[in-house]
Amino acid sequence: MGISFRCNDFMYSYASAIPPKISTHSHHYYEFLLFLSGDASYMIENSSYKANSGDIFITRPGELHTISFNSDAPYERYFIQVSGDWISMLPYDLLRAIDSFESGANNYIPASLAEQYGLIDFFKNIYPYLENKTELNLPENQAMVRCYIIQFLAKLNMLFKNEAKSFYNTNENKAVVKIKNYINKNFINGISLDKLAEHMYMNKYYMCHMFKEETGLTIKEFVNTRRIAMAKQLLPKYKSVKDLYSACGFNDYSAFYKTFKRFTGVSPMEFLK
């Protein structure tokens, strides 16, 4: 069950369903997702989070992210996706705090803060204006939704300014943080699970199981998220896309091309355009 409405400026969606299969990907728009229920973990760029009811997850254009499900418990969520072009027309001071934080530091708002700042209400207040399919395209309804989105962004900006220290993921498993740090320093080179396990003083199979359990990703998938993130940064600087793959840690262009398209949904050349 659910509703979904899209126009040029925004998309609004509510759904409650069995957990879908979602690969790591990025968008060209901002996404604000209110998690309601399910047994899920989120990975956004270099951070991972265990999702709890009332948590809000934010992804900005180009940020790699995915959600993994640990059981078949029903997945319920709202989300609002907002066009970067539309957001760019809003006053810069309204967006300054949203866009200026260190990457990965403000992708997650715990339920307690979301409740404190009234952010959850905005997702629910929009619903009645888009619930009736015969009235979805009424200009006054869409105008009300835009007003709620602007108010939501204003509240979000206020929260980021007042609660900066709350956005750092300090509760992450220390072993997982150490593995991520090792990968971040070495992903351009070949990363061997045996060498990584030796570095961690851990059994290789336990290490892989623990990382998957904590993050929802395999170690290989996480390595590839870092490589593709680097590829997206380097693409405009390379005259030929085929010269790029080794700089991002891939052994051949074919593997790079397939991984890039799986993560982003487009080929390297399409992404560059």
Q: Considering the entire predicted model, what is its pTM? A: 0.69
Q: For 156-211, how does the pLDDT look when each residue is reduced to its tens digit (9 = 90+)? A: 888 887 876 655 555 567 888 889 888 888 888 878 899 999 999 999 999 999 98
pLDDT of residue 102: 43
Which pLDDT value is given to residue 167? 56
Q: What is the pLDDT of residue 105?
A: 54
Strand residues in the chain grouped as ranges (E): 2-6, 10-17, 29-37, 40-44, 47-50, 56-59, 65-69, 75-83, 108-109
Q: How far apart are CA 120 and CA 55, in angstroms?
A: 9
The residue-averaged pLDDT of 25-38 equals 89
φ, ψ at 207 (rounded to 5°): -60, -45
Close Cβ partners of 122 (under 8 Å, ≥ 6 residues apart):
148, 149, 151, 152, 155
The pLDDT tens digits for 74-126 are: 999 999 999 888 887 888 777 766 765 444 457 889 999 999 999 999 999 99
One-letter amino acid for residue 26 of the chain: S
Compute φ and ψ for 180, nearest 5 degrees: -60, -40
Tell which wins on pLDDT, 270 or 170: 270
Question: What is the rounded distance in angstroms from the CA atom of residue 119 to the CA atom of residue 158?
Answer: 11
**pLDDT confidence of residue 76:** 95
pLDDT in tens, 37-87: 999 988 887 677 889 999 999 988 878 888 888 888 999 999 999 988 888
Average pLDDT over residues 144-156: 92
**Which DSSP letter does residue 25 get?**
B
Q: Give the per-residue pLDDT at 12.
A: 94
* Per-residue confidence (pLDDT) for residue 68, from 0 to 100: 86
Q: Closest by alpha carbon to 53, among 36, 78, 34?
A: 36
Task: Write the DSSP symbol of residue 112.
Answer: H
Confidence of residue 25 (pLDDT cuts 50, 70, 90): confident
Which pLDDT score, from 0 to 100, does residue 115 have?
94
Would the pLDDT of 221 be above 50? yes
Judge contact between 37 and 75, C-beta under 8 A: yes
Predicted confidence at residue 172, as pLDDT, reads 66
